[in-house]
Structure 1
């Protein structure tokens, strides 16, 4: 089986696994305990905090560890709304945000907040003018993901951050798909908060983090907690954090080389679909700097995505029909709805995502398999 679902999760890096084992056996103490064994775990934890903050170019005092991206998104929004820059009850978000963002916003909608969901243009990007027009005097939070997990479009975070600054609005961004894939040194310091996850960068599952601007006087969602300065309860997963940090060090130092590798793979894969191009619609940004090359979202006209996924699986290729957090739902993916794609066409959507182990030969074999499936099941034209 050749794996093409790295946007869902990545295998644990062997060096990160070794770090986990060492931390779990040698630094096993509770990092909040006052004895020397607890102190050793605490020192390791703070070293990881400083290292990860340095990689993202943010203040370590604003970095908190969580169980992953979903919890990070939820707690970040809770924290920002506990300390708004001004009075108000209006929030702006993208229609295609991760399900954890939508869940958090639905909670606040039930509490009387008003939510504006912005659609995306045909290239999967937020229209900046639409964003400006949606802002009201009572707007206190904007949340827009950095990279979409299904088609890989990169939102104009710097422009959005500037708009938020001008209007005294908190800005949260889901960095789960961009952390370790894009140079974040310029954008990370510009926003109020961002989330990230370990298993997307070859770290362990069940660990992630959130950055909150240290100048924000947030209130904890869980009262009475002592861990992570009260940000969340529960004994801190020091071995998982250490392994995630090791994985982050490795992937951050290879961002440029990985990016170029994925550009090459993307080009080779799309060229391999040349003989069926009339049946294929690729959802992507117009400009290269607005597109993460490792994620390809497309539809094959006339063939449902789930059928295509199962056929690929039968032939030895693991692809997906979108975000693993909404697999099994009958409705089309949020990104397709946000881009205005008709429901029947949206159900034809599939996602192919590359990792550092993916080779040109791998993508050519997948391309051949897709061509064979389309010819066998007589896909129609996208036009």
Structure 2
């Protein structure tokens, strides 16, 4: 099976598994315990915090470990809004956010907040002028993802950060799809908070992190919580955290080389798919404004679910969008935000590449697409007769 669903999750690396097992055996103490075994675990936890903050160019005091990217998004957003809602009740986000963020803002509307959903344009990006126009005196927070999980569009977060700093508005970004793929610099982007996840970069599932600028006031979601400086309840998953940080350092150090390799594979796919433009519409662009590992497309007249099942039948694993959204079989919100009809949105599929992807995989995948399209045309001809 050719695996082209790395944006959904990645296989856990041998290095991460080794560290997970070693820490499970040797650092089994609770980091909150005051005896020596607990202190040993606490020292390792703080070391992980320092390492991750250096990868993000942030402060170790701003790192909070979570169960994953979705929890990091929700807790960071709620903690910031709780602390600053006295300044206003207006929030800004986009129509193409990950479901954890999109659903959170739906809930905020039910709680009485005013939420503006910025449009995304044909390239998948927001326009700074749209953001500036949406800002009100009552605006307290803006949440805009760094990289889109379906078409790979990369938002100009440094430009966004400059604008929001000038207006003294909090800035959160979901960086789950971009961490380890392209550079993230908290200081340059002037981020107040962000979210990242372990299982997107070959670490174990069930581990992630939120970052909140130590100079930014936040209020804990659950009063009386003591773990992670009150950010979330529950004993820290130290083996998972250590494995996460180990592979994060390795991936970030190898990032530039892997970017070039994945760009080469993606360019091959794009060029081959363009030759089949009568049947295939590419939804991802080709520039530095797009992630190197994500390619979104539609086979015209064919539902994405059918394409995915046919790909699976012929030995290639793809998806019809983000895993957290396709569970309810809803059409891609990113496609709808791009102005596609509901029928077109349901045609969408995503190919996402990773460290085990090869040029031979790309060639086989193109051949499989040709087979699926040919089969579909044959069925249509037979139906007409």
Same fold (TM over 0.5): yes
User: CA separation of 1:85/1:326 partners in 2, compared to 1, >3 Å: closer, same or farther?
Assistant: closer
Q: Alignment partner of 1:378: what SS?
A: helix
Between Structure 1 and Structure 2, how many residues are aligned? 379
Cα offset, 1:265, TM superposition: 0.3
Contact 1:225 1:232 in 2 (8 A): yes
Residue 115 (structure 1) aligns with: 115
Find out whether 1:226 has 2:245 as its counterpart: no
Separation in 2 of the partners of 1:195 and 1:208?
8
Residue 11 (structure 1) aligns with: 11
Find out whether 1:350 has 2:365 as its counterpart: no
Separation in 1 of the partners of 2:84 and 2:99?
23
Contact 2:95 2:334 in 1 (8 A): yes
Contact 1:83 1:216 in 2 (8 A): no
Cα offset, 1:9, TM superposition: 0.2
Moved segments of 4+, more than 4 Å: 186-189
Residue 302 (structure 1) aligns with: 301
Cα offset, 1:69, TM superposition: 0.3
Cα offset, 1:277, TM superposition: 2.1
Residue 289 (structure 1) aligns with: 288
Q: Alignment partner of 1:92: what SS?
A: strand
How is 1:353-364 mapped onto 2 (pairs within 5 angstroms)? 353-364=352-363
Cα offset, 1:188, TM superposition: 6.2
Residue 40 (structure 1) aligns with: 40
Residue 169 (structure 1) aligns with: 169
Residue 207 (structure 2) aligns with: 207
Q: Alignment partner of 1:104: what SS?
A: helix
Contact 1:153 1:284 in 2 (8 A): yes
Contact 1:273 1:371 in 2 (8 A): no
Find out whether 1:153 has 2:153 as its counterpart: yes
Q: Deviations over 1:332-375 (max 9, x none)?
A: 11101111111111111000000011001101100110011112
Separation in 2 of the partners of 1:360 and 1:184?
28
Contact 2:160 2:189 in 1 (8 A): no
Runs (5+) with no aligned partner, structure 2: 381-385
Residue 57 (structure 1) aligns with: 57
Residue 372 (structure 1) aligns with: 371
Separation in 1 of the partners of 2:188 and 2:346?
35
Residue 193 (structure 1) aligns with: 193
Cα offset, 1:284, TM superposition: 2.3
Compute the RMSD of aligned alpha carbons. Answer: 1.5
Contact 1:12 1:204 in 2 (8 A): yes
Contact 1:53 1:59 in 2 (8 A): yes
Separation in 2 of the partners of 1:37 and 1:186?
34
Q: Deviations over 1:148-186 (max 9, x none)?
A: 000100001011111111111000000000111111136
Separation in 2 of the partners of 1:213 and 1:185?
13
Cα offset, 1:327, TM superposition: 1.4
Cα offset, 1:273, TM superposition: 2.9
Cα offset, 1:331, TM superposition: 2.8
Residue 271 (structure 2) aligns with: 271
Q: Alignment partner of 1:61: what SS?
A: helix
User: CA separation of 1:79/1:188 partners in 2, compared to 1, >3 Å: closer, same or farther?
Assistant: farther
